[in-house]
């Protein structure tokens, strides 16, 4: 393990190859074995002050340093007042005893929870040819978008950031780039061995939230897996209702697919219409119309429908926030 004293030093270590980043370290130890002999060095970035803190951006949005803890994110006044979906997702995203150490960057970059991957099966994600969940125990796996690999993306925060239109700032050996979170996560059809667009020498440095216009409402609701506390199903939703019409809406599902799953179908059902309980139910049905549950996870479809109804009613002002 090396402790990086600057971002440039951290990137130099990563560029040498075979290295992984450690931030809060709450997940890394449990997932190092997935990379097997490919990881020979851990680069501790936890001392890098430039990756910490919260700032207003020139456009009126908010910058969150990737080393901010889940507690910092959840309870920050600007996050609570303008980005409720993010505050709620950060609260859900870890146990109270580790939320003070776990970072938002680590949450977004954590490896999948799929038990076949974690038990060192040579599956598609580990570089093999098969997804063992397809015909195995798939009760917690994907119901959408799981063509080659049926894992679900483990982060609660990722869908909230996609719903809020946030962007990732990444620094690596090739310089700085800014990517919308909607394009940051990689579906298995593009690359089934990586969860996001980070290269081996890249570090996620900041989360950039756009300004939140007056009247925007957002939320995150989920149902938890009893054994580990991870999401069985989650819905991040944001909407702007003007003169009884849905002017803008975004709907993103957690624990449904290998990436945070944006439901354009539900959004199309809602956009430009007067929000009513009936419209919201129709949107929930649209979101589930293409679901392809596996043998053990059919229950997820009804769970998502219920969470979609609750979340969309809430952001359209038809239901009180929880
Ligand atoms: C018991 C338990 C329950 C949990 N429940 C949930 C849950 O319900 N929902 C949920 O969303 N999460 C859950 N988590 C995951 C938890 O939120 C993450 O473990 C935590 O946020 C990771 O943060 P960290 O700083 O400790 O990351 P680390 O452990 O340091 O790193 C995690 C991964 O991210 C990479 N990484 C970290 N920071 C960066 C960076 N800035 N740039 C590039 N790569 C980086 C590391 O290389 C590593 O692969 C749970 C974890 C535990 C242990």
**Over the stretch 92-123, which tens digit does the pLDDT of each residue have?**
998 888 899 999 999 999 999 999 999 999 99
Q: Supply the pLDDT for residue 109.
A: 98
Handedness of CA 50, 99, 258, 37 (dihedral sign): positive
Q: Supply the pLDDT for residue 38.
A: 75
In whole angstroms, what is the distance from residue 316 CA to residue 319 CA?
Answer: 8
Q: Supply the pLDDT for residue 64.
A: 98
Cα of 266 vs centre of ligand 1, distance in Å, is: 30
Number of H helices, E strands in the chain: 13, 12
Out of 3.40.50.300, 2.60.34.30, 3.40.1670.10, 3.30.465.10, the CATH code matching 49-209 is: 3.30.465.10
Residue with tokens 């970072």: 103
Task: Kindly give the number of the ligand 1 atom that is closest to the alpha carbon of 26.
Answer: 26
Using 50, 70 and 90 to split pLDDT, how confident is the model at 34? confident
- Mean pLDDT value of segment 109-138: 96
For residue 235, is pLDDT > 90? yes
- Mean pLDDT value of segment 12-29: 94
Q: Where in the chain is the domain with CATH 3.30.465.10?
A: 49-209
Q: Supply the pLDDT for residue 258.
A: 98
Cα of 205 vs centre of ligand 1, distance in Å, is: 15
In whole angstroms, what is the distance from residue 93 CA to residue 81 CA?
Answer: 19
Cα of 99 vs centre of ligand 1, distance in Å, is: 10
pTM above 0.95, yes or no: yes
Handedness of CA 148, 207, 169, 19 (dihedral sign): negative
Topology of domain 216-315, CATH: Enolase-like; domain 1 (3.30.390)
For residue 70, is pLDDT > 90? yes
Residue with tokens 């999401």: 231
Ligand 1 neighbours by CB, cut-off 6 Å: 20-28, 31, 66, 92-95, 98, 102-103, 105-107, 109-111, 154-157, 198, 203-204, 228-231
Using most ligand atoms within 8 A of CB, pick from 67, 89, 107 the residue to mutate for ligand 1: 107
Q: Supply the pLDDT for residue 17.
A: 92
CA nearest ligand 1 atom 43, residue: 203
In whole angstroms, what is the distance from residue 106 CA to residue 67 CA?
Answer: 8
Average pLDDT, rounded, for the chain? 96
Q: Supply the pLDDT for residue 95.
A: 86
């Amino acid at each position: 393990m090396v402790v990086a004293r600057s971002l440039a030093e951290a990137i130099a270590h990563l560029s040498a190859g075979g290295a992984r980043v450690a931030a809060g370290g709450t997940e890394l130890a449990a997932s190092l074995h997935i990379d097997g002999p490919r990881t020979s060095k851990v680069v501790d970035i936890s001392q890098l002050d430039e990756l910490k803190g919260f700032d207003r951006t020139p456009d009126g949005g908010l910058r969150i340093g990737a080393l901010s803890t889940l507690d910092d994110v959840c309870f920050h006044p600007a996050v609570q007042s303008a980005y409720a979906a993010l505050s709620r997702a950060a609260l859900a995203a870890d146990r109270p005893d580790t939320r003070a150490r776990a970072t938002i960057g680590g949450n977004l970059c954590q490896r999948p929870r799929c038990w076949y991957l974690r038990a060192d099966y040579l599956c598609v994600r580990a570089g093999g040819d098969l997804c063992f969940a397809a015909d195995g125990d798939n009760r917690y796996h994907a119901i959408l978008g799981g063509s080659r690999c049926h894992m679900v993306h483990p982060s609660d925060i990722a869908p909230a950031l996609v719903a809020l239109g946030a962007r990732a700032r990444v620094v690596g050996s090739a310089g700085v780039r800014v990517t919308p979170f909607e394009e940051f996560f990689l579906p298995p059809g593009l690359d089934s061995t990586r969860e996001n667009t980070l290269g081996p020498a890249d570090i996620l440095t900041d989360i950039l939230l756009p300004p939140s216009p007056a009247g925007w409402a957002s939320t995150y609701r989920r149902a938890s897996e009893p054994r580990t506390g991870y999401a069985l199903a989650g819905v991040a939703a944001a909407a702007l209702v003007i003169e009884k019409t849905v002017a803008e809406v975004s709907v993103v599902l957690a624990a449904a697919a290998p990436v945070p799953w944006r439901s354009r179908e539900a959004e199309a059902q809602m956009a430009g219409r007067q929000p009513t309980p009936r419209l919201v139910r129709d949107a929930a049905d649209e979101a589930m119309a293409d679901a392809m549950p596996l043998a053990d996870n059919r229950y997820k479809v009804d769970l998502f429908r219920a969470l979609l109804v609750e979340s969309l009613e809430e952001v359209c002002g038809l239901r009180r926030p929880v």
